[in-house]
Structure 1
């Protein structure tokens, strides 16, 4: 057995590095290596974190899946605060820290501050071992010194932010870019902004969509208990269960197609306002199917046509529909030039957007958003609204949905559309919704749910076409 040496006895010659490289990695060290790989690739690209995380999970022991997800997504959520601590503890700007050391350092700092399942000394030692495999002994010694300094006070209040600008201070403390903090302070005020920032940094619970035609939530909860999955009814969405323990994706109920995994806010947004029996619904940009499935969960006799431009995403929706034993009509079509005309009672269009309501699920997005990107997406969204409008029958509804909380991607898009279409007007939602959904009506035709402890953020705008 190879004796484990303390870091102070590290040698600097190549022989030491060869001996360390030959030592087998522990299971936890393998998880850290995978997490570092996913973190680096995500930050170096525009691809979703899931692009790299899903592949890493396939190569990982299923017992370590939870830890791997936590290390990657938690580090991405807290990236800016973590970097603030690293700069303070090292006395160096990030640009002067060796690039190969950043991922091990960031992951270790996340563990020290936010995870208690691994003792601090173990988190430090594992990061040092990881650094030693990536660089010279001097780099490993640097990691050791920085992390031991941080490990003495792994509390957020021990690393104060000396910044006079309120937006910058909040951005560092809550690990968000200045752009978003400034925008939300202007739009929502300080109290609501802090609530959004806090919610975005919490792990996202798993929500399940149950189907009314199959008995709804109660029988599904009983089925899941048999598979050691604990759930409870969600507060907002009427067909939603929140998972409290266990993995429902390994359950017999999942294999039977008894539920669909969908955030509570997304479920509720799909049925604002509630669908009527036997409605003819066109779901634009529908894949992978969440809005259609939520509508069918609420009104199983609705006739749903789902369109999407991506054949790959439609194929995913077809697989999801088959597992759930649902049969919406799927159609490949460009939302800006749909092959239908005014035959639908309700047209739901899911606009391309920045996704600022889903940052807890996709934390990498907040480090990529720019004002120019928001403007580009808003312009693209306008063409989809115009294309979808002609499919609404006289007297029917045009429901515009985003997972963004930015006015430019929501109210501004619809306002521009209404200026060009006198046959549409905002529909008053006050008579359509009951509490708690009704509590989130902000103005005529405007429903918005901001990110909170248990759910994502969504915006829905409902327009009605003139009857004559």
Structure 2
């Protein structure tokens, strides 16, 4: 008779099964699971940590426990889920090894009793060999980071293998991240990528003042903390926020701090006409209107998105901003020509004072929030020589967006990626093409219109080339990128 299986681990295994069968995202599966309602707060936290962690390190986990399976082994999907859970707990959580192995064996026994012996043998080796290997990788990276910080490190070798073990990323992606941001920033990303991301929230300024928002959050028991942005609060926990319905209704706006800083850099003038490309569910639209209102009044915003479902969600969330906001279904690459509901670009009223472009991207700056990204990405998707890659799509969208900017107007290019292929390289290719029409506006110059505290936060993320590029770090915001351009054509 084995040990008693803890309810949290049993629930985590069930959620992983839901994800696999429904091809769902981990956070959606957790949100929709009926199993969590019967658990304590502590158990729910463990379920979330296990499910999100397994999703973030999926491919690596299969390699870690797979090294101790016979080549002839054929695992039933539920057994594989159980081994992944136990391997993650052994290698990445502080659970005592004996407990993690015992619980892992019980997980396997609960779905395939005959495989319990196999699980015991495999997990003991994972706990004694692989967990130790990851601990040594952490120590190696810490030592190297401190040496580099003190100016005495070996900066020639790139420790992608160690970073991959610590973060749970594929080696190829680890290599690209190091090449894009350097070892120190990659190390900080790796150290926090399996932790919960900080949560920032504000109120819809068309409905609530900052004081009313704070009272609303307190009424939900969320204990909002003040931030340098007067209308933005940090939450220590999201528990209760999703169930409140206040985000989906448009009363509250959840958005990363770096994304908010980008919106402030791009603050539309009151009364200006703005085209937002890649509107999604309308989060940045709410922030853009709040930024314009802080400058004196609302802007008129036309938001476009290719996905009908997102357009409908945005319309619902943005009702409070009528008649200043319009939501349209449109392909961003088609903006060179006529679009239903949008004036043609060869007519004067088809151009905008500002075009804000939030392109589809790898999302590598948001790995803490979207754990599936690392193991669902492919190298081909980031190859600028592949005609179907993200960088090629991003260049096409930026090129089309530029046709909608008035002479003297502003063009904003934004991603939530840390990879240079999607950020600096796209910007440089655009400037090479459009050197007679557009110039880069240095982010530090654009920040001069903002309060001192906001300027200070932005300047920390300004690159030597004048772009905004934040990097994920412990207790810090996500990785977001922004470049601002001005149309220098004569009117």
Give the TM-score normalised by structure 2.
Answer: 0.78
* Superposition deviation, residue 368 in structure 1: 2.4
Distance 1:124 1:217, change over 3 A: farther
Deviation of 1:349 after TM superposition, in Å, equals 1.0
Render the CA deviation track for 1:274-314: whole Å, top value 9, x for unaligned.
33222221101101112111111222312111111111110
- Equivalent residues, number: 439
Task: Label 1:189 to 1:412 Cα distance change in 2 as closer, same or farther (>3 A).
Answer: closer
Distance 1:374 1:464, change over 3 A: same
Q: CA RMSD in A?
A: 3.5
CA contact (8 A) 1:83 1:94 kept: no
Matched residue, 1:396: 409
Deviates most, 154-163 or 320-329? 154-163
Task: Give the 5 Å matches for 1:7-26.
Answer: none
The equivalent residue for 2:55 is 76
Larger mean CA deviation between 383-392 and 410-419 belongs to 410-419
Match of 2:270 in 1: 277
| Counterpart pick for 2:286 among 293, 301, 310 | 293
Q: 2:104 aligns with which of 124, 127, 140?
A: 127
Q: Could you tell me how far apart the structure 1 residues matched to 2:250 and 2:214 are? A: 14
* TM-score normalised by the chain length of structure 1: 0.82
Equivalent in 2, 6, 26 of residue 6 of structure 1: 2
Shift of 1:34: 1.6
Matched, 1:428 2:442: yes
In structure 2, distance between residues paired with 1:270 and 1:409:
19
CA distance in 2, matches of 1:249, 1:185: 35
**Would the aligned equivalents of 1:168 and 1:178 in 2 still touch at CA under 8 Å?**
yes
Deviation at 1:36, TM superposition (A): 3.0
| SS, match of residue 421 in structure 2 | helix
Deviations 1:248-295 (A, max 9, x none): 234486687531222222222223233322222110110111211111
The answer (yes or no) to whether the contact 1:270–1:294 under 8 Å persists in 2 is: yes
Give the match for residue 365 of structure 1. Answer: 373
Report the equivalent of 1:223: 216
Residue matched to 2:307: 310
Which residue of structure 2 aligns with residue 111 of structure 1?
89
SS in 2 for 1:357: helix
Pairing partner for 2:15 from 7, 21, 35: 35
Q: Which runs of 5+ in 2 are unaligned?
A: 141-156, 384-388, 448-454
* Aligned counterpart for 1:259 among listed residues 238, 252, 257: 252
User: Structure 2 vs 1, CA of residues 105 and 447 (structure 1 numbering), >3 Å: closer, same or farther?
Assistant: same
8 A Cα contact 1:38 1:49, kept in partner: no
Separation of aligned partners in 2, 1:28 and 1:196? 28
Please give the alpha-carbon distance, in whole angstroms, between the structure 2 residues aligned to 1:419 and 1:359.
Answer: 31
User: 1:344 Cα shift?
Assistant: 1.3
Q: Secondary structure at the match of 1:286?
A: coil
1:65, CA displacement in angstroms? 5.1
1:308 and 1:333 in contact (8 A); partners too: yes
Measured in 2, the distance between the counterparts of 1:345 and 1:192 equals 36
TM-fit CA distance, 1:98: 2.7
Equivalences for residues 147-166 of structure 1 within 5 A: 147=123, 160=136, 166=159
Correspondence for 1:343 among 330, 338, 351: 351
